[in-house]
Amino acid sequence: MFTVAYACISLPLDPEVDAASFGLPIDRLYLDHFDQVEARPELTRLLQACAQQPPDYLYVRQVGELGNSLSTVLQTIHQLETQGIKIVAIDESYVTPTATSFSGVEVDADSAAADRDRTAQLAETVLAQHRSQQLRAGHARNRVNILPPPGRAPYGYRRGRYRYALDRATAPAVKSFFEHFILYGSIRGAARQLEKTYGKRVSASTAQRWLLHPVYRGDSRYQDGRVIRDTHTAIISREEAAQVDRLLRRNRKLPPKTVSARRSLAGLVQCQACQSKLKVSRVTRPRQTREYLYLRPTACDRVKKCRAIAFDAVLAQTIEAICTQLPQAVDNLQTPPVGAIKAGLVSQVEHKQQVLSQIAELQQQGILDEASAQLRTYTLQGELSGLQQELSQLPPENLKQIAQTLSSREFWQDLSEVERRVYLREFVRAVWIVRDQDAWQVQVQFVF
C-alpha cells in the first residue's frame, strides 16, 4: 500500500511537520508554507505525481489545507478522488465516502440529495477551517510583532494601539491587592480587602491567577506559552514579584487557615509526643483588657492530654534556637555553586542579546527576510525571558551574611509580629515541642 501526506504550515503558527507527526506510516510527505512566494508548489507536485502514480491514501491534517479557497479545495478533492485516491483527514473532518466510485457515478442507492448534503457539509467544514486559519494567522502576526494577545484587557489595564496601558481607575486596586498579599500572605484576605475597599469582587482562584499572571509584572504571555518581558508598564516591580513567588511557594507547605494568621508561630509548631499541630488560642479574663496566648494541640490522642504552653515562651525559645543554630546549619549546608550557575545564565543572556542585536543587520544584508527576522526576534525574546526568570529564582549568594543577621537577638526584637512571621516561615519548616513529663524544650527544623 502506497501512502502520501500533505500539509501546509505557517512557521509563526505551527512547528515543523515531518512524516512521524502524522502517527501513520507515510511513504512521502509534501510540505508547503503559507509565506512562500510561489503559491502551493508542493501541492502542484503532489497532483502531478498522483496523475502518474496514484497512491492508495492521501493523509492531511485538515481537509481545508488542500487549497486557499473553497472552490480550490473541492476541485482538488474531486481531482484526487476520481483517480481512486482515498483522502483521510487526521482531525476526522473528512474521509472519502466508500460509496463513491471515484468516477462521479454512484454505485449504491444514495440519492443525489444525500450527495448534495454531503457536499454542503464539506463546504461548511472547509469555510470554518479557513476562518480559523485566518484568525490564527492574524494572532500569530500580532504575537511575532509583540502586540497584546487577543481578548479583553486584564483588570487594571486597557487596550492601547500597540500595548496595554494602565487604567487609572482600576490599576490602584490591583496595586493595593498585591501590597495586601505581600504584607499578610493571604490570597482570600487580599481578595476580601479588594472587595471591601474598591468594590471589586473576585474569587480566590481568580486572585491566585492574578498573583501568578505575568501581565501585572510588565510581561506578555502568549498562546504558545512564551513570555516576553517588558512589553508594557508593570503594576508591581520585579522585587515585589519575586516576593509574591516566595510567599506562594511557602504557603503551599502550610495549612490553609494558618496562611493569614496574625501570630508568627501559627502553622509551624508541632508536638513531638502526639504529632499534633498546635494552634494559637487567645484567653482573656473578665473585666480585664490583657490577653494571654497559648499553644494548644489540635488533635492529641494521648490518654493524658498534652498541656498547653505559653506562646511567648515558645517564641522566645524559638528565637534563641535560631540565633544559636542557624549559622552552624548554614555552614554545614551543601549548597550548589550559585555563583557558577548565575555566571553561566548571565553568559547565555549576554550571548542571546548579542544575537538579537545582529538581526537588524542580517535583515539589511538580505540574509533574513522580514518574516524570518520577526520570528527569530520573537523566539530569542522568549528564550531571554526564560533565562531571566531562572536568574530571579536562584537562591541568594549571601546566605551566610543573612544567617549572621538572623542570629542577632536585637534583630528579632525590633521586628513586628507580621515581619517576624515572614522571616520564620522563610527559614523554619517546623518548630517541635519535645516534652519530658511537665518540662519541654524547642527543637527547630530549618527548611534546608
What pLDDT was estimated at residue 15?
Answer: 65
What is the per-residue DSSP string for 209-261?
HHHH-GGGGT-EE-TTS-EESSSS--SS-HHHHHHHHHHHHHHTTS-GGGTT-
Q: What is the pLDDT of residues 253-293, one digit of tens each?
A: 776 667 667 788 888 888 888 888 888 888 887 777 778 88
What pLDDT was estimated at residue 341?
Answer: 82
Dihedral sign from CA coordinates of 169, 171, 177, 180: negative
Cα(122)–Cα(93) distance, rounded to whole angstroms?
A: 8
Strand pairing report for 269-271 and 278-284: unpaired
- The residue among 27 and 333 whose pLDDT is bigger is 27
Q: How sure is the predictor about 166, in pLDDT bands with cuts at 50, 70 and 90? A: very high
Whether residue 284 contacts residue 291, with contact meaning beta carbons closer than 8 Å, is answered with yes
Q: How sure is the predictor about 107, in pLDDT bands with cuts at 50, 70 and 90? A: very low
Mean pLDDT of 296-314: 87
Locus of grid cell 524544650: 441
Cα(237)–Cα(55) distance, rounded to whole angstroms?
A: 60
Average pLDDT score over the chain: 84
Mean pLDDT of 168-176: 94
Q: What is the pLDDT of residues 11-51, one digit of tens each?
A: 666 667 777 878 888 888 888 877 655 678 888 999 999 98
What pLDDT was estimated at residue 249?
Answer: 82
Whether residue 189 contacts residue 211, with contact meaning beta carbons closer than 8 Å, is answered with no
Cα(218)–Cα(228) distance, rounded to whole angstroms?
A: 9
Number of residues written out for the chain: 448
Mean pLDDT of 373-390: 87
Dihedral sign from CA coordinates of 314, 320, 322, 328: negative
Return the CATH number of the domain spanning residue range 3-144. 3.40.50.1390
Q: What is the pLDDT of residues 192-238, one digit of tens each?
A: 999 999 999 999 899 999 999 999 999 999 888 888 999 999 999 98
Q: What is the pLDDT of residues 418-433, one digit of tens each?
A: 788 878 887 888 889 8
Q: What percent of the chain has pLDDT over 70?
A: 92
Cα(13)–Cα(426) distance, rounded to whole angstroms?
A: 42
Whether residue 295 contacts residue 309, with contact meaning beta carbons closer than 8 Å, is answered with yes
Amino acid at 310: A
pLDDT above 70 for 294: yes
What pLDDT was estimated at residue 328?
Answer: 84
pLDDT above 80 for 101: no
Cα(89)–Cα(63) distance, rounded to whole angstroms?
A: 6
CATH class of 157-252: alpha beta
Cα(251)–Cα(259) distance, rounded to whole angstroms?
A: 6
Q: How sure is the predictor about 105, in pLDDT bands with cuts at 50, 70 and 90? A: very low
- The residue among 100 and 65 whose pLDDT is bigger is 65
Q: What is the pLDDT of residues 183-205, one digit of tens each?
A: 878 888 899 999 999 999 999 89
What pLDDT was estimated at residue 252?
Answer: 76
Q: Give ∠ CA 140-219-159 in degrees, rounded to 5.
A: 70
Q: How sure is the predictor about 104, in pLDDT bands with cuts at 50, 70 and 90? A: very low
What pLDDT was estimated at residue 285?
Answer: 79
Cα(402)–Cα(265) distance, rounded to whole angstroms?
A: 20
- The grid cell for 3 is 501512502
pLDDT above 50 for 102: no
Cα(118)–Cα(186) distance, rounded to whole angstroms?
A: 57
Whether residue 421 contacts residue 415, with contact meaning beta carbons closer than 8 Å, is answered with no
| Helix, strand or coil, per DSSP, at residue 181 | helix
What pLDDT was estimated at residue 164?
Answer: 94
Q: What percent of the chain has pLDDT over 90?
A: 18
Q: Nearest Cα to 384, choosing from 166, 245, 231, 209?
A: 231
What pLDDT was estimated at residue 201?
Answer: 94
pLDDT above 60 for 109: no
What pLDDT was estimated at residue 259?
Answer: 67
Q: How sure is the predictor about 167, in pLDDT bands with cuts at 50, 70 and 90? A: very high
pTM of the predicted model as reported, rounded to 2 decimal places: 0.72
What pLDDT was estimated at residue 209?
Answer: 94
Q: Nearest Cα to 17, choosing from 7, 27, 25, 26?
A: 7
Mean pLDDT of 71-91: 89
Cα(378)–Cα(371) distance, rounded to whole angstroms?
A: 11
What pLDDT was estimated at residue 38?
Answer: 61
**Sequence ranges of the domains in the chain:** 3-144, 157-252, 269-334+399-446, 338-392
